[in-house]
Amino acid sequence: MKIVVIGGTGLIGTKVVANLRQWGHQAIAASPITGVNTITGEGLAEAMKDTDVVVDLANAPSWEDKAVLDFFTTAGHNLLAAEVNAGVKHHLCLSIVGVDLMKNVGYMRGKMAQEGEIKKSTVPYTIIRSTQFLEFLPGIANQATKDNEVHLSSLQFQPIAADDVALLVAKAAVAEPLNGTMEIAGPERMHMYEIVERYLKATNDPRKVVPNNDNHYYGGEIGESDLVPAGKASLGETSFEKWMASQAANA
Amino acid sequence: MKMENGQVTELPVPSKAALEQERKILLDLGNDIARVREKNDLITLFSKRIKSFFYFTHTIVTLIESKDETYTPFLLDHEHSPIRDHNRYGEMVAAHFSLNDPFIQAVLAADGPISFLLEDIMDKPQSPSFLKVNYERGVREILMTTLRNEEKPVGFIHIYTDRTEGFSLEFRDTIKGITPQLASAVANIIKNEEILNKEREKSFLLEFSSEIAAVRTKEDLALAVHTGLSKLNALRGYVIRKINEDGETLSTYIYDPGIANFDDPEWVAVTTARFPLYDGLQNRVLESYIPLLFSVEREVQRGITSSYLHYWKKVGYRTMVGIRLHYGITNLGILWLGIEEINIQLLQGICFQISVAMANIVANEQVEKTQQEQAFLLDFSNDIAQVKTKPDLEAAIFKVLDNALHSKLSMIRLIADDGVSMPAYMFDNTLFVNAGVTHEQMAASVITIEEPYTAKVLASKDGVVFDIAEELKGGSAYAKLWAATGLKYVYALPLRAGNKLLGTIWLHSDWLSQLVLRGICAQISVAIDNIQANEKLLAYKKQLEVENDYLKEQIKTIYNFSEIVGSGEAMQEVYRLMSIVASTNTTVLVLGETGTGKELIARALHNSSSRKDKLMVKVNCAALPTNLIESELFGHERGAFTGALDRRIGKFELANHSTLFLDEIGELPLEAQSKLLRVIQEREVERLGGKQTIKVDVRLIAATNRNLEEEVKAGRFRADLYFRLNVFPINLPPLRDRAEDIEPLIHFFVAKFAKNTGRKIRKVSPKVIQQLRSYTWPGNVRELEHLIERSVLLATDEVLQDVYIPKQSTSDKQDLSFILNRTLEEVERGYIVEVLKRCAGKISGPGGAAEILDVPGNTLHSKMKKLGITKADYFS
């Protein structure tokens, strides 16, 4: 199959492309770097030619509310229009667990708009909602750091390893479209502060984690369990410990 | 992969000559790169340089495509390639070869050039096909070198040889040495190509932009678009479709003259049709921010039925690019290109320019149209300004509607004076002929302001537009009539002059501009208002003229009695009757001998009635020729009969809200009597030759000196009319029966005429008074008046001494029959008593009976004695 991976040069994208190629598919890593731009439409029609599946992993270049909304709406609109024209048979998009619940967060509204475009379009689709990636942990820690203390809430958290995400996405891409949503998550659920504490400890980071009840996530207040799957979810195999081990090996 | 000589063999120290060669090649290559204009020149020059030192068949450069991890030919040596005539050459040139195979992975893994015997590797399952193709053309060995940019592999140099001895160590060294140079040369070529492309795009857009900037009209734009788009590679055709005014369809705006085919009915149909915006294709383009590439076949399979798509398929277009033309957020149309690929930057640039030009043209056209409309309104205004009459207005309206607006006037209705009914004022006779509605039916149709459609129109500010098709669905009877015109809409507007609602105007048309519509309606309103005012003015003027003429006539003829003179018993009875009847509207019949003052009585009745503010109108029935009586009484329309050059208002109309005095009613011809009767009964008149009846409120006073009863008996007067008139008869006594009033009348007339003639007559001699009293006055008061007038004129001093009573030589013949039946004595006795009565018993002296009888006083005395006439006989 010819599979175009939008955002195919990013963290998950490269891994998905690698998986697909390994399974013998013709995977195109599409991104502005490789000449495919979903905002301007550049290279889009050419990339879509004879394409069976499109995997959309693109992320907004800015985190500002309106920019995010514009990006996901426009990119989704353009991409799906090109897919319809090219006769693409499956559109897969990576979204976020709880995206429909966290209406206070601008980024989530952008992702909801993207999902909306997909459902509105005539292209068969699969939406995969994922929890946060384990790879985000250092970023989360840094963002919450104040005077060598890491202030984090007790939100429910169930991060998944990027490799697992890539594998599950690649599998779904070559499977039949669900015309619906599936959720993926890591194998362990704990409080946000808890896992960051474990991460800092494992990396011998001297910062101290201070738990709080501030349920703010990227600028908006969210529910205690909004970040974890409510129902049945496909779980990644990589536990925190295993992930830490592989990180250490890579380093 | 056993031939990895480069890596296994110990590298020998390069000879001085070899270094010199390499230096020279590098130098030359540096010069070559600077001279390269076309990318394949590089490979040609590179081959030439190296070939002067080493043998090989040909060389190519391939580039890595990172997005799908493939590599693809970039620089080709068309001159020396032995596979050029291979049937798979085209395929090879376009192919993307996977990086994911052992052969190329080995190349990537090698640190420098690496050679392979084709025999060894070409048949391995994952090996790229070009190895085999080359082998089939005699190539035996390949030397592969990875080109790197900042350590990252970006491409490969392929060097092929057909000799079995392969590539020498020196060759490998040289290649390794110049690889970085070559890599940067390739990078430069890529960059240059990019820059060149951008440059070309920019200059294209610049040129296009300057062409577009000069565009003023649609024709200019068509030319500019044609000039610009013809420069695009591989463009098979184009069309610009514009969104129509309805906002729901698109029609061809500009087409490619290169593919125009007026002989092909299908092309003509596609070029002239209006395609629905939401046809599953056009809406997708208009909703897309980016140009969209369509596969014609796929869209056909999707079930899109639009005829243009099927036409494209028929003429062999495989893919089409559709780009939204928009200005701001307003979509203008679509540019369709018959092209296989999309150059986003270029197309966006082109479409932006076209959009701006289109928006400008549309705006220009709008301005021009508005100007035309205004000029048109000005013309109409000039036409209207010259309008004085309804026919003028009709001509002006029909001219403007038919010629300029392709519309039809169905009706103008004006609100009548009653404020409710709306009779037809002006309409197009021909409009509803198809629907079987005749001129007469239209003219006669009267509706009221409460009629639902009319009420809606009158209540609106700028009128109402009725979509006939919509109204038909509602089952309206009017709509059925309207549909017969074949036009789509009815535009109905209220006609207003200032704050006054005049009526409604109904126009049929397929389309009318609001500006024009409002403009002409305003003009028509003013014109109608003016015409109506003009008509009223003319009517008033006419009436005043008639009244004026009439008054002049009256001044000449009527008795200028300011009051009735006389207080005798007979007159007292008259006064009593008058006072009873004056204030009512009752018809009065004034009877009396000629000259008894019948008109004076009529006038007095009028003046003491509530109608006194208006002029009493008098008709002398005896004074009119029979054939003119009717016209005089009832008026006539223009052309009612020969000589009726103008419309004339009848006396009945003139006397509306006043009194009509019909003098000498007994003289009215029978024919006129019946008409008069009808008017009296119906209280409405109809002008001769006229169609409408006019309600009148007239009080009638008739007068005659004839005995109407006798006339009725003789069949000269209609009995029914007589009874109608004889409601309240007033009999005026003859002057001879009211001798006591003679003296006051004498004084009254003497004073009047003395004043008129400027004479000073202070006194009337008793002799004169006696003379006048004893006269029989067959002409009654009128005779007395004339007699006094003559006497005053003839008087020589301040005392009226003489009057000129006509001699009675011509005795009343009417009495003859009466006399004939009597004896002489009876006649003589009666006659003397009669004379004595008239002379108030005076026998002799001036004014005495003897004088009248022309006998001496003594003779009269003895005659009286003989006939036994006593005082009692003549003082009764």
Q: What is the domain extent for residue A215?
A: 2-250
CA atoms of B79 and A130, how far apart (whole Å): 56
- Please name the amino acid found at residue B478: Y
- What confidence score (pLDDT) does residue B438 get? 66
- What confidence score (pLDDT) does residue B563 get? 62
CA atoms of B696 and B122, how far apart (whole Å): 123
Q: What is the mean pLDDT of residues A77-105?
A: 92
CA atoms of B673 and A97, how far apart (whole Å): 109
Chain B residue numbers touching A40 (CB-CB < 8 A): 290, 344-345, 348
Token pair belonging to B114: 């690496």
Q: What is the sign, positive or negative, of the torsion defined by CA atoms of B24, B27, B30, B33? A: negative
- What confidence score (pLDDT) does residue A51 get? 94
Exposure of B113 by Cβ count < 10 A (0-12 exposed, 13-18 middle, 19+ buried)?
Answer: buried
Residues of chain A with a CB closer than 8 angstroms to some CB in chain B: 8, 21, 26-31, 33-36, 40-46, 74, 77-78, 81-82, 84-87
- Please give the tally of structural domains in chain A: 1
- What confidence score (pLDDT) does residue B348 get? 87
Q: Which CATH class is domain B214-368?
A: alpha beta
Fold category of B388-536 in CATH: Beta-Lactamase (3.30.450)
Nearest to B472 by CA among B482, B486, B461, B457: B482
pTM of the complete model:
0.60
Chain B residue numbers touching A81 (CB-CB < 8 A): 284, 287-288, 290, 292
Q: Do B290 and A78 touch (CB under 8 A)?
A: yes
The length of chain A in residues reads: 251
- What confidence score (pLDDT) does residue B557 get? 46
pLDDT, tens digit (0-9, with 9 covering 90-100), for B198-256: 888 888 888 888 888 888 888 889 999 898 888 887 788 899 999 988 888 999 999 98
Confidence of residue B334 (pLDDT cuts 50, 70, 90): very high
DSSP H stretches of helix in A23-120:
44-48, 65-86, 106-120
Q: For chain B, give the mean pLDDT.
A: 83
Chain B residue numbers touching A29 (CB-CB < 8 A): 66-69
pLDDT, tens digit (0-9, with 9 covering 90-100), for B671-729: 888 888 888 888 888 888 877 888 889 999 999 988 888 889 988 899 999 998 999 99
Among A85, A89, A120, the strongest candidate for a mutation testing the B interface, having the largest count of B CBs within 10 A, is: A85
Range from A16-20, B495-499, B636-640 carrying the lowest mean pLDDT: B636-640
Q: Does B635 touch chain A (CB under 8 A)?
A: no
Q: Does B99 touch chain A (CB under 8 A)?
A: no
CA atoms of B478 and B471, how far apart (whole Å): 8
Q: Is the pLDDT of residue A132 over 90?
A: yes
Q: Is the pLDDT of residue B448 over 60?
A: yes
Confidence of residue B4 (pLDDT cuts 50, 70, 90): very low
CA atoms of B467 and B613, how far apart (whole Å): 55
CA atoms of B289 and B284, how far apart (whole Å): 10
> Which 3-state string (H, E, C) describes B235-287?
CCEEEEEEECCCCCEEEEEEECCCCCCCCCHHHHHHHHCEEECCCCCHHHHHH
Nearest to B664 by CA among B727, B712, B619: B619
Full strand arrangement of the beta sheet holding B330-338 = B274-276, B249-255, B237-243, B330-338, B319-327, B292-295
- What confidence score (pLDDT) does residue B647 get? 77
Beta bridge partners of A127: A93, A181
CATH, residue A226: 3.40.50.720
Q: What is the mean pLDDT of residues B552-573?
A: 65
Q: Closest Cα of chain B to A51: distance in Å?
A: 13
- What confidence score (pLDDT) does residue A83 get? 94
- What confidence score (pLDDT) does residue B7 get? 44
* A51-84 residues labelled b (16+ CB within 10 A) or e (exposed): bbbbbbbbbbeeeeeeebbbbbbbbbbbbbbbbb
CA atoms of A224 and A211, how far apart (whole Å): 14
Q: Does B290 touch chain A (CB under 8 A)?
A: yes
Question: Which one has a higher pLDDT value, B469 or A239?
Answer: A239
Question: Which one has a higher pLDDT value, B177 or A127?
Answer: A127
CA atoms of B755 and B744, how far apart (whole Å): 17
Beta bridge partners of B62: B73, B156
CA distances B611 to A5, A7, B589, B655, Å, are: 105, 104, 18, 10
CA atoms of B665 and B601, how far apart (whole Å): 15
Please enumerate in sequence order all residues whose Cβ is within 8 A of that of A162, keeping only pairs 6 or more positions apart, or say none: A11, A12, A15, A133, A134, A135
Fold category of B810-876 in CATH: Arc Repressor Mutant, subunit A (1.10.10)
Please enumerate in sequence order all residues whose Cβ is within 8 A of that of A66, keeping only pairs 6 or more positions apart, or say none: A106
CA atoms of A29 and A56, how far apart (whole Å): 11
Q: Closest Cα of chain B to A85: distance in Å?
A: 5
Interfacial B residues in 9-68 facing A (CB < 8 Å): 66-68
CA atoms of A248 and B774, how far apart (whole Å): 165
Q: Is the pLDDT of residue A88 over 90?
A: yes
Q: Do A28 and B68 touch (CB under 8 A)?
A: yes
Within a 10 A sphere around the Cβ of B383, how many other Cβ atoms?
A: 18
Task: Parse chain B into domains and list their residue ranges.
Answer: 5-196, 214-368, 388-536, 558-733, 810-876
Count CA atoms within 13 Å of residue B710 on its CB side: 5
Q: What is the mean pLDDT of residues B657-667?
A: 90
- CATH superfamily entry for domain B558-733: P-loop containing nucleotide triphosphate hydrolases (3.40.50.300)
Q: Do B69 and A42 touch (CB under 8 A)?
A: no
pLDDT, tens digit (0-9, with 9 covering 90-100), for B157-169: 999 999 888 888 8
User: Could you identify the residue written with the tokens 């309606």?
Assistant: B521
Domains B5-196 and B388-536 share a fold: yes
Q: What is the mean pLDDT of residues A82-98?
A: 94
CA atoms of B524 and B477, how far apart (whole Å): 28
Q: Do residues A123 and A84 touch, judged by C-beta distance below 8 A?
A: yes
Q: Do residues B740 and B746 touch, judged by C-beta distance below 8 A?
A: no
Provide the number of CB pairs (under 8 Å) joining chain A to chain B. Answer: 67
Q: Closest Cα of chain B to A230: distance in Å?
A: 36
CA atoms of A11 and A106, how far apart (whole Å): 22
Q: Closest Cα of chain B to A90: distance in Å?
A: 16
Selecting from A21, A40, A85 the residue whose C-beta is nearest the C-beta of B294 gives A85
Token pair belonging to B723: 């009874």
Q: Do A87 and B293 touch (CB under 8 A)?
A: no
- Between strands B648-649 and A234-235, the pairing is unpaired
CA atoms of B375 and B372, how far apart (whole Å): 5
Q: Do B341 and A30 touch (CB under 8 A)?
A: no
CA atoms of A189 and A212, how far apart (whole Å): 18
Q: Do residues B409 and B428 touch, judged by C-beta distance below 8 A?
A: yes
Q: Do A41 and B69 touch (CB under 8 A)?
A: no
Question: Which one has a higher pLDDT value, B65 or B34?
Answer: B65
ipTM: 0.84
CATH number, domain B5-196? 3.30.450.40
